[in-house]
Structures are given as structure tokens and as C-alpha cells.
């Protein structure tokens, strides 16, 4: 890798990281580097300072807090996958994380880094959105909590200010009766999702009581498929009913066209994949 | 957590794998030897070109054009020279006459349009990535940073990326040439027009061979180390062709050939992309000469996408004429081949090779082939695994399936009806090649058995009947290829710039160990192991006692290098023949030592013995020591057992095989899933089955990649939009199915080991097998064709459009 020159700061605490960000003109956080390093390598990013969070131990780890599960921002994907608590209480996170790139990336890339990058083609933003995750953010004026619905603001843009650090993400524990599935459509294992659908479904007496659905790569931000959720709620878990509801997955979506798919194909795919994800989650 | 690589452990595991070989095997040839060279290669404890360091070494970086076609109106490197660590910066005008054009060794026609191709562009750039200046600095970072301080302005000229557009000659890539047509190469045999006029059935199709980007694991790298006092230069390069490179560097730089040494250290893959004489190699040599210091250049992956030659990129118009009963009568092929912006080492020859392969394994009365080479404002194309043969094989195997549909015949039956029958060999094809051997019946029978052809056809029918959203398709490819490029006289007839021989030297060391010097230049093929097996059998010495020396023009001075599945059938045979010369001479020494006449000496497994007196014997190692001591040799004998052999092959070799592919196509999404892949290859006798299987697996991956995944995409402005591994989809192991591989053995009759070569077979065979399967799955739904790569979107769109058309 031959990036342009930059200064490097290794933070040992969140406070230090925030201070380093505040003191620099144009700084970037290094939180695993799986998105930042390619940008540096291609000289698409020219930060003056790179602040490395790799040694901030307080940002790592997974803990339970009552009916919520809290994942530290610097917890690697591999650590998320290895966690019993995640598997038990946030199985949708586990499923989606298992589809992230390849083993090497999952050992380097972090849960919080991936969310903070706010790439709508990333797998975790749609999951966080569907599960109503809460983002704990620390800036120069202290900590605040941002709901997922307000976190992703535009393409690669989030509610994080330039001198904010994402500390941790808190997710509601899914209780009994919930089924989940992450349906990822991508051409090769390490490629981004052309479309992804994160679905969590609570069944009750053969029908769907409640559904939470997030869409990957269907617009400049991850998309919450609220129209589908409403159509599903209280309805049958039958193929036909689910397909009908899934046809509304394009409501609110603004997919782009790129080398891997034109927008109309994405709009078609998202309906097929939403039905599949919901049926698998409900199955 | 990081795991330390333990080279010793890896080496031990490789040794243990050898134990898996059947213990009763008495010959090395045919044994599943794990590769000797792998321990150092997989642990990285070896010399890749980029690892090479010299005191005072400088680093070069090239500023490349971001425009596809433009006049350079301003170019000022003074800003770069101000940057820290920068030693020098040059443009084309600074290099002036030192910069002679890069070579094209294959002028396919006398009137071929061959534009100048300077390593650093002169006045005009003609593809994105064309270099415009070079910076030399103390380290790579400084060199890369300094590129940004070069002041360059361009006056944009129109790009032309489409071959048919280019052939209108409205936008000229090389204005001084007045045309974008480089050449038209014709071939004709038999009464083509009569055959087509009288034909009961004619099927015409257009196929597009998309552009592919070779992605060898090791990027290119060059280091040139000068010895200013004696004006000598050593060029280290990640190349497949150190010998060709040495000759060409001497020719284009004017440096005396005997003052140049070219070394290809361990090379991490090439697939044809390193069968080249690149501008960076020439530039580094010029820089080392000017500056009197070692200079290194290493490609970044992004740079490689633009600056390393591409492959394929053809428009194929093919027409086949047949009787109603399926008998093929004639074939017409009109090929347009995208040269890119310049002709490189063998650019024009690659599509022309297809002339001999479109007819494939089939008999016919008439054949016409024309190939037109076209300039566009894109990266030049050149050899890529298969080089001309996969393109041809794809078109004929695809059109055979289309003909079968037209005739309502089973595609296997159609092939069976038309292929050269086993008893008809040797057979001279309509394209003029004489296939020495083959048994298409045996390979096909074995493949259909392993595949459960009938069972899958039945399932296919069931899925169709119940209108299953997931449809099943079966694809066939009964391919052959011409390998072992090539008899020198044939290459001469084809206007190729060199011969096709290969050299080997055997050095018998005093302790009985053996050094095999080969002119082949392995970059992943495992020659060190295979050549050891050949020498071990021929000389009767243990496999472990053989070392193979390659890839350095100083230690292996003669060679034509490695490409076109030639190494075993030419270079391996040269090793065998050189060993025979050693044994012949050692026999004379043995007869002398045993006081017997030469005719009475038997040689078996490394031991010379006297017929009828089995106790009177001497080992080849003892003979080696006796020859070294030279105390007691026959009168007048030179005290050396070493031998050289230069082998010019008498014919090409013709590996063949039958590949069968079953795919499931999800009609709701267009997703193609390979359900089963059976490859039965006939590569003749096999030196090392493990290496052959590895070659087949890798070849299949690359051929399937063309069918389903990879595509070099240019936009209308000539930008390579698939210029990273995010957008250019190289499949990984997890994206590929489990392969069922098997072999039939029909030895070549053109060489003493009966071998044929295997480097390209899987790539050539698999692309049409997969695409035929995709079409077979959805043709009944109205789909006529799907362009490669058969991406989910393309398949879905084809289905969508077919449905819309049916309404």
C-alpha cells in the first residue's frame, strides 16, 4: 500500500481519540481499516491524521444490560460471531456478520467500524436499522445516544460529527417467538451485496404478529421496509401473503444502477428476496 | 490472532503427503508426488522480485494517463524534482532516442499495420494507463508522492472502445496510420460457398468474447542492477519469458546481448500476462543505465488492471452448415479481435491461432476463417490462458449446441456423429493440422457415466413439466487444443519471430546428484517436481537427488520459456532426451570399467550390469564419480557426463476431453448455480497426477470465471470501470463447485513420453460447457442467448425479455 503521507495517532482511550480528532484538521478513525485502507491505497482519501482505535480496550467486548445487548464498536466481526450472547439474543446480527466478506476481513474489520462507515451496501447497517439499534456516540461535549433511524443520513454519511467516536451499539434482545434471516444476494463471496434483506419475524398462532425488515443497498442509506412490515403484521405466514406483502419492498427504496445491477433489477430482486427472507425467518 | 507460518512444518506435511503415494510404484513417472517447490513458495521463504534489495537501489513510479485518448499539451516534471527523495524524473522527450518502440514478434501479415509503441508515450496517449512520465526516488513512497507534483495537461481526443465503431475509421487511434484495421488474416479450405449454398441447415450466431483481466497473484515487478564498470546489467523480472526478454531487451535498447542477464526469480503466476516484453522492463533498464544505480518498479494491483495486458475481447460471427441428419458440411468464421491501443509481443497471433481450433474435433468439407485485428483506445490485449483457443472452442461448442436445437438432436449425439473416430487417427483436419491421436469416444463415455447424463436429463424434464422456478440445464464441451507450441518450421510459416524448440542440460555431479537445467520458466506449474520425476526415471537416481535450475539466462542460457502448454511436451521431452545422452555415455564408461563390450551392458534403475554376469555391475553414481576423477576412462573420452539437448517438436500435441456441466438457474433472480461439473481429460501419459489435477482445477476455475463472473468493462469514454477486485469478480474457492475429474489415457504418438500438456485444458473446455448449460436451462422459456459473463442480471433480463416477447 502506497498512501499519501499522514500523521498517525494511536489512541489509548476514547477521550484521547476524541481529543485527537478535535485537534486535527482532517482526521480519520482507523477501526479495523477494511474500508479506510482501500481508500488510502487508491488515494481517494487524504487524511492529515489517522487515529487508530485498535488499542482502546474499552471499545471492545459484548455485554448484556437487562433486555439489551451491547456490542463495543471495536469488537471484530469474528468476535461477534464467536459470542454466545449474540447468537442467543441477536441472531440476525450473527447471520449477517457471517456473510461479511471473508475470514481475513472478519478478523480485522469491526462491528462499529462497519456501521460508522455507513455504506448502504454493507450488511450490518440494514440489520441495525431493522432491530432499532441505538448508537452511543462520544464527542467533545460528552456522550449521547442516536437511534438507528437517525444514524444513517446519506451515502457514507452518518450522524457522527468529524470529532465523534462511536463507542458502542445497543440492541434489544429478541425474545422467544422471533425468527430471523439475512438474505444476501452477491455474486462472489467477497463481493458487496447487490441487494440484502434483514428480516426478523415474530410468529403467533401461525400468523405473523410483527416483522422488522431492513434492506441493504437499496438506496443511499439502509432502508427500513415499513410498508412490508405493516402489510405482514397480523397476516398469515403463507407464501402468497408474504409475497404480496414483499411486493411493497420497493416503497421508499431508491436503488442506484452500477456495474453489478441496474436499478430495475434491484427493485425486482428486493421483492423476491424479501419474501424469501421473511418466509425463512417465519419458517 | 496471527498464526506464525512454520516452514518446517509445511515442508514436513508435504513430505508426509508423499507417503500417500502407492508404495509399490517402481517408476517416478505417474506418481502423485507433492511438489518439492511448494514449501518455500507457500511460506514465502523465497525470492519474489519485489523482495530483491540492493544497496543504493532506487524506486521508479510511472505517471499514467487518466484519459483514453489525448494529446499531451503540457508536461512539466520540475515540480516532482523538488520533492524530497526524488533523484530524477523523465518524460519521453527526455529519454529521446534511448526509447525505442516495444516489440511485436508476430507480424501475422506482411502488410500488418504496426504502430510505434513507446514505453513512455510520445505526445499522445492512447489508453487509460499509458505512461507519460517516470519518477525515480530513494523509496517507493517518495516516488508515488512525487507523481502528484508533475504538471500535465491533456487535450482530449475522442475515444473509440467498440471494434465495429473503430472499423469505420472515423476516430483513429493512430492518426498517422489512417486506419484502425491492423490486419486481416484469411484461411480457406474446401468449396465453402458451394457447401453453404447447398446446405440443408445453416445456423448463424454472433458470440462476444468479453475482455478479461489476468490477475496473477504476484503483481509484476522489475529490478535492474547495473555493473557500470563493465556496462553489464542484470534484469530481475516477474516474467514467464526470461530468455525472450533478454533477446528483446538487447534488440530494443541496443545493449549487447552478452552484457545482459535476465533472471525470473520465483514467479507467482502469469497465465500469459507475463509472456510479454513490457515498457516498465525497458524503462527500468534505461534508468539503471542513466543513473548507474539499481532501479526497482513494482506494480500496484490497480496499476496492473491498466498496464498489464488483457485477454480475449473478440466478436465472433460463426455459421455452420449441416445436413438434416446432423452431418456437418462447412464452417465460416469471421473474427474481429480487439488489439487495444498497440500491438504487444504476440498480440496479433493470439486470435489467429484460433484459425486452427474453430473446426475443433469435427470433420467437415469446407472451412473459411478470417480474422481482423482492430485498434481501440483500450489496454492492449495479448495471450491469456489458452490464447485464441478458448475463444475458438467456445464458439464452436456453443454453435454445436445451437445446431442440435435446430435439428432436434441430442447435443451429444450430434457431436458423436461428427467427431474424428478413434480409428481415424492420425487425421488431418480441414484447418490443416494433423491430430496424432485421440479417443473422443472413451472420454465421452467416461464423462457421461460419472455425470449420470440420463438421470439429469430426466430431472430436467420433470422440472420443466412442473414449471419449477429453478430450472436445470446441461452443458457439453467436447474440446481439443493444440499444445506444445510448436514445431519451429510451423511457427515460421505463421510468421512468428522465433522457433519453438526447448533446451535441457543434465549435469552429473561427482556425488551422483543431478542438476537439470531447463529452458522452461515455471511460474506455478511445478516443473521442479515433474522434471525431477522424468530425470529420476531416465537416470535411475532417487527423486530427491535431482535439482532443477531454471529462470536465469546465466545458469540456463538456452530456452524458449513457458507458455501455451509447451513446457512438458517440449521442455520435458528435452530433459528426457538429455538424460538419454547421459546414459549413453555413462554406458561407455561402465563398459570400460567392467571390461565388457558396450553392447553387453544393461541399464536398469540406475545400475549398469554385464549381460549374463549380474554381479558385474556399477551404479550411475559410481560412473559419475569415476568420470569426475577421470583416472580410468576410455581412450580419448572427454571427462564429463554432462549433456545438452535441444528439442524441436515434430508436431503439436492435442489434449482433448469431455466436460459436462449441470447448472440450476433460479428463474426468479437469474442466479446460476453449478450443480455438478465432470471433467474427463485426456492429456496422454501423466508425469504427476496430482499436478495434473491441480492444473485442471485451476483451469476450470478460470474458464468458469469467464462464463459467470469476470468482465473487463470500459465506458464510452474509455475508462476501465471494472478496475478493482471489487468490480472485477475473480471467483474464490467458495464460489466454485466441487469438481469431479477423471482421465482417459491416449498417449501422444509425437513424443517419446506420450505426453500432451495440461496447462490450459480446463480453461478451454469449461467456458462453453457452463454457458451451454445456462442456455439449456432456459431456452425452453424463450431465451436465445446470454452474453458472458452470465451474471444473474443478464440471465434475469433475458428471461424477462423472453416473457415480454411471448406475451
pLDDT, one tens digit per residue, over B110-124 is 999 999 999 999 999
Question: What are the Cα distances from residue B271, in Å, to B239, B280, B341, B756?
Answer: 11, 19, 21, 18
**Partner residue opposite B141 with nearest CB, options A2, A187, A268:** A2
Q: Which CATH class is domain A178-282?
A: alpha beta
CA atoms within 13 A on the CB side of B655: 33
- Answer yes or no: do B668 and A272 touch at CB < 8 A: yes
Instruction: Tell me the torsion sign for CA atoms B730, B734, B736, B739.
Output: positive
Residue B553 lies in a domain: yes
Whole-angstrom distance, CA of residue B194 vs CA of residue B531: 51
State how far residue B467 is from chain A, nearest Cα, in angstroms: 17
**Partner residue opposite B669 with nearest CB, options A42, A259, A272:** A272
Domain identity same for B601 and B523:
yes
Residue B742 lies in a domain: yes
- Chain A residues inside the 8 Å CB shell of B721: 259
> What's the first-to-final CA gap in chain B, in angstroms?
59
Using the Cβ of A103 and the Cβ atoms of chain B, whether some distance falls under 8 Å is answered with: no
Mean pLDDT, residues B703-720 = 98
User: Residue B4: which pLDDT band, with cuts at 50, 70 and 90?
Assistant: very low
State how far residue B14 is from chain A, nearest Cα, in angstroms: 24
Q: What is the pLDDT of residue A206?
A: 84
State how far residue B300 is from chain A, nearest Cα, in angstroms: 8
- Chain B residues inside the 8 Å CB shell of A259: 713, 721-722, 727
* Segment holding B38, helix H or strand E: helix B38-43
Q: What is the pLDDT of residue B1?
A: 33
Is the pLDDT at B21 greater than 90? The verdict is no
| Among chain A residues, CA nearest to B726 | A191
Q: What is the pLDDT of residue B625?
A: 98
Per domain, the residue ranges of chain A are 7-52, 63-172, 178-282
Domain identity same for B671 and B806:
yes
Among B140, B142, B668, the residue to mutate for chain A (most A Cβ within 10 A): B668
User: Residue B100: which pLDDT band, with cuts at 50, 70 and 90?
Assistant: confident
- Answer yes or no: do B726 and A192 touch at CB < 8 A: yes
The set of long-range contacts for A106-110, using a CB threshold of 8 Å and a minimum separation of 24, is A106/A76, A106/A77, A106/A78, A106/A81, A107/A76, A107/A77, A107/A78, A107/B1, A108/A32, A108/A33, A108/A34, A108/A76, A109/A32, A109/A33, A109/A34, A109/A76, A109/A77, A110/A31, A110/A32, A110/A73, A110/A74, A110/A75, A110/A76, A110/A77
**Average pLDDT of chain B?**
95
Final residue in a domain of this structure, among B592, B622, B647: B647
**Partner residue opposite B735 with nearest CB, options A5, A185, A189:** A189
Cβ-Cβ contacts under 8 Å between A and B: the total is 52
Which of B545, B670, B694, B550 has its CA nearest to residue B620?
B545
Is the pLDDT at B20 greater than 80? The verdict is no
- Answer yes or no: do A259 and B727 touch at CB < 8 A: yes
- Alpha-carbon radius of gyration of chain A: 19
| Among chain A residues, CA nearest to B733 | A189
Task: Provide the chain A residues 226-255 that lie in CB contact (below 8 A) with chain B.
Answer: none
User: Residue B805: which pLDDT band, with cuts at 50, 70 and 90?
Assistant: confident
Which of B759, B767, B786, B783 has its CA nearest to residue B677?
B767
The interface predicted TM-score of the complex, written ipTM, equals 0.96
- Answer yes or no: do B793 and A260 touch at CB < 8 A: yes
Residue B760 lies in a domain: yes
Final residue in a domain of this structure, among B600, B619, B647: B647
Domain identity same for B637 and B656:
no
For the whole prediction, is pTM greater than 0.90? yes
Give the pLDDT confidence of B583-592 residue by residue, as tens digits: 999 999 999 9
Whole-angstrom distance, CA of residue B12 vs CA of residue B22: 18
Residues 6+ apart with CB under 8 A from A237: A201, A203, A206, A207, A208, A279, A282
Strand partners, B471: B665
Angle in degrees, 0-180, between the axes of helices B761-778 and B389-407, rounded to the nearest 10: 30
Count of Cβ atoms closer than 10 Å to residue B580 Cβ = 16
Low-confidence residues of chain A: pLDDT under 50:
none
Using the Cβ of B804 and the Cβ atoms of chain A, whether some distance falls under 8 Å is answered with: no
Using the Cβ of B702 and the Cβ atoms of chain A, whether some distance falls under 8 Å is answered with: no
- From the candidate CATH numbers 2.40.128.630, 2.60.40.3710, 3.30.465.10, 1.10.40.30, the one assigned to the domain spanning A63-172: 3.30.465.10
Domain identity same for B618 and B684:
no
**Partner residue opposite A2 with nearest CB, options B140, B727, B792:** B140
Residue B92 lies in a domain: no
State how far residue B130 is from chain A, nearest Cα, in angstroms: 18
Mean pLDDT, residues B480-491 = 91
User: Residue B2: which pLDDT band, with cuts at 50, 70 and 90?
Assistant: very low
Using the Cβ of B194 and the Cβ atoms of chain A, whether some distance falls under 8 Å is answered with: no
Using the Cβ of A187 and the Cβ atoms of chain B, whether some distance falls under 8 Å is answered with: yes
Domain identity same for B532 and B575:
yes
- Chain A residues inside the 8 Å CB shell of B1: 107
Mean pLDDT, residues B510-527 = 97
Using the Cβ of B796 and the Cβ atoms of chain A, whether some distance falls under 8 Å is answered with: yes
Mean pLDDT, residues B469-473 = 98
Whole-angstrom distance, CA of residue A167 vs CA of residue A14: 8
State how far residue A147 is from chain B, nearest Cα, in angstroms: 31
Using the Cβ of A87 and the Cβ atoms of chain B, whether some distance falls under 8 Å is answered with: no
- The answer to whether B81 touches B89, Cβ cutoff 8 Å, is yes
Domain identity same for B524 and B637:
yes
Q: What is the pLDDT of residue B380?
A: 98
Beta strands in B422-501 (DSSP E): 427-428, 434-435, 470-480
Is the pLDDT at B12 greater than 70? The verdict is no
- Answer yes or no: do A259 and B302 touch at CB < 8 A: no
DSSP state of B483: B
- Answer yes or no: do A187 and B709 touch at CB < 8 A: yes
- Chain A residues inside the 8 Å CB shell of B705: none
Structural domain total, chain B: 3
Using the Cβ of A44 and the Cβ atoms of chain B, whether some distance falls under 8 Å is answered with: no
Domain identity same for B599 and B738:
no
Q: What is the pLDDT of residue B614?
A: 86
- Chain B residues inside the 8 Å CB shell of A260: 727, 791, 793
Residue B103 lies in a domain: no
- Chain A residues inside the 8 Å CB shell of B145: 4-5
Using the Cβ of A135 and the Cβ atoms of chain B, whether some distance falls under 8 Å is answered with: no
- Answer yes or no: do A185 and B669 touch at CB < 8 A: yes
Domain identity same for B804 and B662:
yes
Mean pLDDT, residues B331-340 = 98
Whole-angstrom distance, CA of residue B330 vs CA of residue B321: 5
Q: What is the pLDDT of residue B24?
A: 54
Domain identity same for B546 and B629:
yes
Domain identity same for B775 and B709:
yes
What's the domain range around B766? 420-482+652-807
Whole-angstrom distance, CA of residue B616 vs CA of residue B315: 68
| CA B474, chain centre distance (Å) | 28
Cell of B93: 522527450
Q: What is the pLDDT of residue B10?
A: 58
- Answer yes or no: do B793 and A192 touch at CB < 8 A: no
Domain identity same for B631 and B663:
no
Span A7-52: which CATH code?
A: 3.30.43.10
Give the pLDDT confidence of A102-124 residue by residue, as tens digits: 999 999 999 999 999 999 999 99
Angle among Cα B686, B690, B694 to the nearest 5 degrees reads 105
Using the Cβ of A101 and the Cβ atoms of chain B, whether some distance falls under 8 Å is answered with: no
Cell of A261: 445491477
Whole-angstrom distance, CA of residue B714 vs CA of residue B127: 11
- Answer yes or no: do A259 and B141 touch at CB < 8 A: no
Mean pLDDT, residues B361-388 = 98
- Answer yes or no: do B792 and A194 touch at CB < 8 A: yes
Whole-angstrom distance, CA of residue B209 vs CA of residue B783: 19
Instruction: Tell me the torsion sign for CA atoms B693, B698, B703, B709.
Output: positive
Domain identity same for B669 and B786:
yes
Using the Cβ of B803 and the Cβ atoms of chain A, whether some distance falls under 8 Å is answered with: no
Residue with cell 526509447: B99
State how far residue A270 is from chain B, nearest Cα, in angstroms: 10
Which of B465, B425, B475 has its CA nearest to residue B651?
B425
**Partner residue opposite B729 with nearest CB, options A4, A188, A273:** A188
Q: What is the pLDDT of residue A1?
A: 83
- Chain B residues inside the 8 Å CB shell of A277: none
Task: Provide the chain B residues 401-430 that lie in CB contact (below 8 A) with chain A.
Answer: none
Question: What are the Cα distances from residue B93, in Å, to B114, B122, B132, B591?
Answer: 22, 7, 10, 68
Q: What is the pLDDT of residue B369?
A: 98
Q: What is the pLDDT of residue B678?
A: 98
Give the pLDDT confidence of A135-167 residue by residue, as tens digits: 999 999 999 999 999 999 999 999 999 999 999
- Chain B residues inside the 8 Å CB shell of A42: 302, 724
Mean pLDDT, residues B343-367 = 97
Q: What is the pLDDT of residue B722?
A: 96
Using the Cβ of B652 and the Cβ atoms of chain A, whether some distance falls under 8 Å is answered with: no
| Among chain A residues, CA nearest to B148 | A4
Task: Provide the chain B residues 756-795 that lie in CB contact (below 8 A) with chain A.
Answer: 791-793
Give the pLDDT confidence of B249-299 residue by residue, as tens digits: 999 999 999 999 999 999 999 999 999 999 999 999 999 999 999 999 999
Give the pLDDT confidence of B595-613 residue by residue, as tens digits: 999 999 999 999 999 999 9
- Answer yes or no: do B721 and A269 touch at CB < 8 A: no
Using the Cβ of B200 and the Cβ atoms of chain A, whether some distance falls under 8 Å is answered with: no
Beta strands in B640-771 (DSSP E): 643-647, 656-666, 672-682, 739-743
Give the pLDDT confidence of B197-214 residue by residue, as tens digits: 999 999 999 999 999 999
* Helix (H/G/I), strand (E/B), else coil: B182: strand
CATH number of the structural domain spanning residue B699: 3.30.365.10
Q: What is the pLDDT of residue B774?
A: 98
- Chain A residues inside the 8 Å CB shell of B665: none
DSSP state of B543: G
Give the pLDDT confidence of B624-641 residue by residue, as tens digits: 999 999 999 999 999 999
- The answer to whether B574 touches B500, Cβ cutoff 8 Å, is no
Amino acid at each position: 500500500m502506497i498512501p499519501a503521507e499522514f500523521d498517525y495517532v494511536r489512541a489509548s482511550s476514547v477521550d484521547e481519540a476524541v481529543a485527537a480528532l478535535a485537534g486535527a484538521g482532517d482526521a480519520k478513525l482507523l477501526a479495523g481499516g477494511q474500508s479506510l485502507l482501500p481508500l488510502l491505497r487508491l488515494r481517494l482519501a487524504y487524511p492529515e491524521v489517522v487515529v487508530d482505535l485498535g488499542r482502546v480496550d474499552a471499545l471492545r467486548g459484548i455485554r448484556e444490560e437487562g433486555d439489551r445487548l451491547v456490542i463495543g464498536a471495536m469488537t471484530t466481526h469474528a468476535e461477534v460471531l464467536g459470542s454466545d450472547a449474540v447468537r442467543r439474543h441477536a441472531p440476525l446480527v450473527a447471520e449477517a456478520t457471517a456473510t461479511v466478506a471473508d475470514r481475513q476481513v472478519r478478523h480485522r474489520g469491526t462491528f462499529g467500524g462497519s456501521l460508522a462507515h455507513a455504506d448502504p451496501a454493507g450488511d450490518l447497517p440494514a440489520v441495525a436499522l431493522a432491530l432499532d439499534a441505538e448508537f452511543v456516540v462520544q464527542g467533545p461535549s460528552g456522550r449521547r445516544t442516536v437511534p438507528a433511524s437517525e444514524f444513517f443520513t446519506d451515502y457514507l454519511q452518518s450522524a457522527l460529527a468529524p470529532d465523534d467516536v462511536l463507542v458502542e451499539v445497543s440492541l434489544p434482545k429478541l425474545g422467544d417467538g422471533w425468527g430471523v434471516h439475512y438474505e444476501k444476494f452477491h455474486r462472489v463471496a467477497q463481493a458487496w451485496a447487490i441487494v440484502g434483506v434483514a428480516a426478523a419475524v415474530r410468529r403467533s398462532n401461525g400468523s405473523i404478529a410483527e416483522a422488522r425488515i431492513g434492506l441493504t443497498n437499496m438506496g443511499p442509506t439502509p432502508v427500513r421496509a415499513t410498508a412490508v412490515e405493516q402489510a405482514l403484521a397480523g397476516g398469515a405466514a403463507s407464501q402468497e401473503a408474504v409475497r404480496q406483502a414483499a411486493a411493497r419492498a420497493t416503497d421508499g427504496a431508491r436503488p442506484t444502477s452500477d456495474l453489478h445491477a441496474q436499478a430495475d433489477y434491484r427493485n425486482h430482486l428486493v421483492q423476491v428476496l424479501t419474501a424469501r427472507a421473511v418466509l425463512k425467518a417465519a419458517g | 490472532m496471527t498464526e506464525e507460518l512454520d516452514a518446517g512444518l509445511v515442508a514436513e506435511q508435504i513430505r508426509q503427503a508423499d507417503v500417500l503415494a502407492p508404495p509399490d510404484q517402481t517408476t517416478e513417472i505417474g506418481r502423485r508426488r507433492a511438489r518439492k517447490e511448494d514449501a518455500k513458495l507457500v511460506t514465502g521463504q523465497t525470492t519474489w522480485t519485489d523482495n530483491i534489495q540492493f544497496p543504493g537501489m532506487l524506486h521508479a513510479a510511472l505517471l499514467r494517463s487518466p484519459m483514453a485518448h489525448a494529446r499531451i499539451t503540457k508536461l512539466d516534471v520540475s515540480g516532482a524534482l523538488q520533492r524530497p527523495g526524488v533523484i530524477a524524473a523523465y518524460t519521453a522527450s527526455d529519454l529521446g532516442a534511448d526509447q525505442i518502440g516495444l516489440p511485436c514478434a508476430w507480424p501475422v501479415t506482411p502488410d500488418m499495420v504496426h504502430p510505434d509503441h513507446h514505453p513512455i508515450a510520445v505526445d499522445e496517449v492512447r489508453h487509460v494507463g499509458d505512461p507519460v512520465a517516470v519518477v525515480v526516488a530513494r523509496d517507493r513512497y517518495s516516488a508515488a508522492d512525487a507523481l502528484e507534483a508533475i504538471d500535465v495537461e491533456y487535450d482530449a481526443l475522442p475515444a473509440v472502445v467498440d471494434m465495429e465503431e473503430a472499423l469505420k475509421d472515423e476516430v483513429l487511434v493512430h492518426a498517422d496510420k489512417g486506419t484502425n484495421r491492423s490486419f486481416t488474416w484469411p484461411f480457406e479450405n474446401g468449396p465453402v460457398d458451394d457447401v453453404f449454398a447447398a446446405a440443408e441447415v445453416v445456423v448463424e450466431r454472433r458470440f462476444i468474447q468479453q475482455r478479461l483481466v489476468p490477475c496473477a497473484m504476484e503483481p509484476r515487478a522489475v529490478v535492474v542492477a547495473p555493473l557500470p564498470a563493465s556496462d553489464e546489467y542484470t534484469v530481475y523480472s516477474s516474467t514467464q519469458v526470461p530468455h525472450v526478454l533478454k533477446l528483446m531487451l538487447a534488440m530494443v535498447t541496443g545493449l549487447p546481448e552478452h552484457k545482459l542477464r535476465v533472471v525470473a526469480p520465483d514467479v507467482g503466476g502469469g497465465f500469459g500476462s507475463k509472456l510479454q516484453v513490457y515498457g516498465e522492463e525497458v524503462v527500468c533498464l534505461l534508468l539503471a543505465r542513466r543513473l548507474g544505480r539499481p532501479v526497482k518498479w513494482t506494480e500496484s494491483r490497480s496499476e496492473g488492471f491498466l498496464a498489464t495486458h488483457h485477454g480475449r475481447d473478440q466478436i465472433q460471427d460463426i455459421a455452420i452448415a449441416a445436413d438434416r441428419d446432423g452431418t456437418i458440411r462447412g464452417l465460416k468464421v469471421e473474427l474481429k479481435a480487439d488489439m487495444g491501443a498497440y500491438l504487444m509481443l504476440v498480440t496479433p497471433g493470439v486470435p489467429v491461432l484460433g484459425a486452427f481450433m474453430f473446426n475443433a474435433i469435427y470433420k467437415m468439407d469446407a472451412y473459411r476463417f478470417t480474422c481482423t485485428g482492430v485498434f481501440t483506445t483500450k489496454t492492449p490485449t495479448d495471450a491469456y490462458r489458452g490464447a485464441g483457443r478458448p475463444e475458438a472452442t467456445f464458439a464452436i461448442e456453443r454453435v454445436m449446441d445451437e445446431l442440435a436445437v435446430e435439428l432436434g438432436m441430442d447435443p451429444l449425439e450430434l457431436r458423436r456423429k461428427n467427431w474424428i473416430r478413434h480409428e481415424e487417427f492420425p487425421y488431418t483436419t480441414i484447418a490443416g493440422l494433423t491430430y496424432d491421436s485421440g479417443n473422443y469416444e472413451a472420454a465421452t463415455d467416461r464423462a457421461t457415466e460419472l455425470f449420470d447424463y440420463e438421470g439429469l436429463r430426466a430431472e430436467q424434464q420433470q422440472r420443466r413439466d412442473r414449471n419449477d422456478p429453478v430450472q436445470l440445464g446441461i452443458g457439453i464441451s467436447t474440446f481439443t487444443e493444440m499444445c506444445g507450441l510448436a514445431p519451429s518450421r510451423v511457427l515460421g510459416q505463421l510468421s512468428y519471430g522465433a522457433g519453438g524448440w526447448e533446451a535441457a542440460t543434465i549435469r552429473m555431479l561427482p556425488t551422483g546428484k543431478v542438476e537439470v537445467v531447463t529452458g522452461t520458466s515455471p511460474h506455478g506449474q511445478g516443473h521442479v517436481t515433474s522434471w525431477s520425476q522424468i530425470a529420476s526415471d531416465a537416470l535411475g537416481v532417487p527423486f530427491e537427488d535431482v535439482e532443477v535450475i531454471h529462470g536465469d539466462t546465466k545458469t540456463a542460457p538456452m530456452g524458449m520459456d513457458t507458455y501455451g502448454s509447451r513446457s512438458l511436451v517440449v521442455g520435458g521431452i528435452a530433459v528426457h532426451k538429455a538424460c538419454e545422452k547421459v546414459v549413453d555415455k555413462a554406458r561407455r564408461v561402465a563398459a570400460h570399467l567392467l571390461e565388457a563390450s558396450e553392447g553387453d551392458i544393461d541399464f536398469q534403475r540406475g545400475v549398469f550390469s554385464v549381460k549374463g554376469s549380474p554381479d558385474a555391475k556399477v551404479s550411475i553414481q559410481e560412473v559419475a564419480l569415476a568420470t569426475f576423477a577421470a583416472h580410468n576412462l576410455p581412450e580419448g573420452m572427454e571427462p564429463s557426463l554432462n549433456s545438452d539437448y535441444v528439442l524441436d517438436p515434430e508436431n503439436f500435441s492435442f489434449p482433448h476431453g469431455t466436460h459436462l456441466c449441470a447448472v440450476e438457474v433460479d428463474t426468479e433472480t437469474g442466479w446460476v448455480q453449478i450443480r455438478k461439473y465432470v471433467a474427463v481429460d485426456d492429456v496422454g501419459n501423466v508425469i504427476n497426477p496430482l499436478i495434473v489435477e491441480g492444473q485442471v482445477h485451476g483451469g476450470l476455475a478460470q474458464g468458469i470465471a469467464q462464463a459467470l463472473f469476470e468482465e473487463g468493462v470500459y465506458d464510452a469514454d474509455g475508462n476501465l470501470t471494472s478496475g478493482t477486485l471489487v468490480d472485477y469478480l475473480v471467483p474464490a474457492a467458495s464460489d466454485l463447485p466441487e469438481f469431479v475429474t477423471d482421465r482417459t489415457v491416449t498417449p501422444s504418438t509425437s513424443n517419446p513420453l506420450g505426453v500432451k500438456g495440461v496447462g490450459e485444458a480446463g480453461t478451454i473446455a469449461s467456458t462453453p460447457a457452463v454457458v451451454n448449460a445456462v442456455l439449456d436451462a432456459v431456452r425452453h422459456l424463450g431465451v436465445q442467448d446470454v452474453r458472458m459473463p452470465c451474471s444473474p442480471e443478464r440471465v434475469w433480463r433475458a428471461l424477462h425479455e423472453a416473457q415480454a416477447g411471448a406475451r
